[in-house]
Amino acid sequence: MQVPQQVIDDLRFALGFFPLKSLMHVRANRHRLIRGHYRRDGKGCLFSLLSEPLPADQQIFTRETLTRFFTGISGEQARDLPEYQPARWLVRLVDGQDCQGRYGSYTMLDWDVVLKVLDEQISQRLQGEYQAERVRQRVLKVLGGMIKRPRSMK
């Protein structure tokens, strides 16, 4: 079955909240991904594994911590905020719950789809870091040349 674009968009949006080290952590720990629980027996859901490299106060292990991570607040009112919706629906999709209202007839998120989007995001971020480092090196070279010139003029 074709993966709905909304699933891909929601994955990209949700993964955007996490640093590169979190994305790479999930990639390295694919074997620990589970469904139906946030954490159990050394394994975890997608968002739990994504948050493992983060400080303890940012780790996701309940619906409340998931809500707080994406919205900055807890409680029922936070669950209706737009920034929480992609994560909310992805959790439901991973767990095989009814997602007809958002994803149509697509009923279960395959880990291969998650990893494909994860790899895309990792690649884009690494490319961005590489480009940023090249710019930084050029700026330092220019600044180094500017600093040397005044000294030689003395």
| pTM of structure | 0.82
**Residue 145, pLDDT score:** 66
What tens digit of pLDDT does each residue of 69-112 get?
Answer: 999 998 889 999 999 999 999 999 999 999 999 999 999 999 99
Nearest to 81 by CA among 92, 70, 90: 70
More confident: 46 or 146: 46
> Which of helix, strand or coil describes residue 62?
coil
Q: Where are the alpha helices (DSSP H) in 16-110?
A: 20-28, 46-51, 63-71, 85-94, 100-103
Inter-residue contact 27 to 119 (CB < 8 Å): yes
Domain with 49, as residue range(s), is: 5-153
Residue linked to tokens 């989007």? 117
Inter-residue contact 89 to 99 (CB < 8 Å): yes
> pLDDT category, 52, cuts 50, 70, 90?
very high
Total domains, the chain? 1
